[in-house]
Amino acid sequence: MRRFAALYAQLDRTASTLAKREAIAAYLHDAPPADAAWAVYVLGGGKLRRLATATELRTAAQAATGYAEWLIDASYQHVGDLAEAIALLLPPGDGTLANTSLQVWMEDWLPALGKLDPPMRLAQLQMWWQALAPEQVFLLNKLLTGALRVGVSQRLVVQALALWSQLPTDLIAHRLSGDWQPHAAALSALAEPDSGAEHLTDRPYPFYLASPLEQAVETLGDRNDWLAEWKWDGIRAQLMRRGGEARLWSRGEERLDGRFPELEIAAAALPSDAVLDGEILAWNAAGHLPRAFTALQKRIGKLKPGAKLLADTPVRFMAYDLLEHDGEDLRQKPLRERRERLAELLREMSPALMLSPALPATDWPALAAEREQSRARQTEGLMLKKLDSPYRVGRKRGDWWKWKIDPYTLDAVLIYAQLGHGRRAGLYTDYTFGVWDRGHLVPVAKAYSGLDDAEIATLDQWIRGHTLERFGPVRSVEPVHVFELAYEAIQRSSRHKSGVAVRFPRILRWRTDLAIRDADKLDDLRRLAMD
């Protein structure tokens, strides 16, 4: 625990990517293999069970310090992180547990804590605090809440592992993908020489991600050098057939087995050792078009969908790349060749496995005109892929671009505000906006981003002076300010008071030029919403 807490503190103190990578690599060199494996898992975004709520931590801190609840809350608001605030408030521990291995904490002690009754759990937590130094208390609290964000991405962990092992990052990323489990043997396997058979495992390939197209499309050169296809709005996934079995992996490296049985049945006709990259879509067979993403959401949470759900919400796998065929890793082959082999493979397959069509427009203006049909086709715009490109790892700029359509916009009135988190914990940065419905403002969207620091500070000061009511951490404010919001889609929703739900709302600008009477009307949004 002591060594990993020191690493965590080091990572927390610097914004330098290089410094973080070198610090993690140095830790991997020095730490016991089992501890290092857990560090890789935790820092790389491995799922941690939440073992203590914020309320439990506050209660335990109050009992351990004797401080009033308001003082603990005020300290939290000042610091911006409850785990850190508690570590600063507690008296220094004696350090008797400081040298206990991270493996013991993660595999024995923390899981056991979750099985205790609440009073025993709080007592155990206080005993641990008394036996740890402040930076170790800070780390322990972060592990308990499952919120270990410290400015380290999975890609950064992969780079640190590559530096430690002296192996290529692409190889490390593949070995770390899928259901990687943190133990000493698994860490050792990450550093083994390349056998050439990495692809013959149950792990998915690391996904290749496109970058947003921010320049004029004409700057990409000759239109004939690029594959253009629709940007499908579904679940990015790899469909794999290994050892006579089909497996589905999401981009988040979650096994989706059993959730989409029609795709697994269709995949039975694939040759053994084949991997397709594509998108899972809810499908309207009559219209030969995908349905809105909200339809797919009905299927996502069902581990074993029933017959009615399967019939009401059929899905398709829209394949757009072939990563492996007959056991041959095709990722370094040009996209042109991979697409040709994919088209040939899918020619005799079930309709559940579809080839993402290439758009035939011969020049950029014609393709731009085609792009205008994106919403009518339930897509997000276009994907542009260089025909001679390999299948890379992660978000590498240059070969794959996403050319999304402009978002929807609406003008809405600020009606509620809530304090933010992290470095903005003392500022009102979480906003709720409303539109007009029969003379009243009805909540329609929440947004957390889009304003700069100066605008946030100005708005925060105004909110504090123009609060109408308080509902716990939420304040209702005078309806004065209008903001332009962007969002990607809008759907009817019985779960929302407004009857509609907007997808990915964010603030575009503060409309100081508009009065609140000029804000949008709910009826207009309802007309936009798709059934």
> How many residues does this entry show for the chain?
531
Q: Which residues pair with 278 in a beta bridge?
A: 237, 319
Tokens of 310: 């399967």
What is the C-alpha to C-alpha distance for residues 531 and 528, in angstroms, rounded to an integer?
A: 10
Q: Which residues pair with 280 in a beta bridge?
A: 235, 317
Decide: 234 and 275 in contact? Cβ < 8 Å: no
Query: H or E element: which one contains 120?
Result: helix 118-130
Closest CA to 525 of 510, 509, 505: 505
Q: What are phi and psi of 104, to 5 degrees?
A: -65, -45
What is the C-alpha to C-alpha distance for residues 272 and 41, in angstroms, rounded to an integer?
A: 31
What is the C-alpha to C-alpha distance for residues 471 and 416, in angstroms, rounded to an integer?
A: 10
Question: Which residues, in sequence order, are CB contacts of 10 under 8 Å at separation 6+?
Answer: 23
Within 10 angstroms of residue 527's Cβ, the number of other Cβ atoms is 10
- Enter the DSSP assignment of 220: G
Kindly name the residue from 231, 333, 386, 404 that is annotated as catalytic: 231
Q: Give the Å distances, CA to CA, from 128 to 52, 112, 158, 319.
A: 14, 13, 32, 51
What is the C-alpha to C-alpha distance for residues 121 and 126, in angstroms, rounded to an integer?
A: 9
Question: Which residues, in sequence order, are CB contacts of 337 under 8 Å at separation 6+?
Answer: 330
Tokens of 296: 């797919």
Longest dimension (CA), the chain: 74
What is the C-alpha to C-alpha distance for residues 480 and 514, in angstroms, rounded to an integer?
A: 10
Active site annotation includes 231: yes
First to last CA, the chain: 53
Decide: 403 and 384 in contact? Cβ < 8 Å: yes
Closest CA to 520 of 407, 441, 416: 441
Tokens of 471: 């509902």
DSSP, collapsed to helix, strand or coil, labels residue 351 as coil
Decide: 94 and 32 in contact? Cβ < 8 Å: no
Q: Which residues pair with 386 in a beta bridge?
A: 226
Catalytic residues: 231
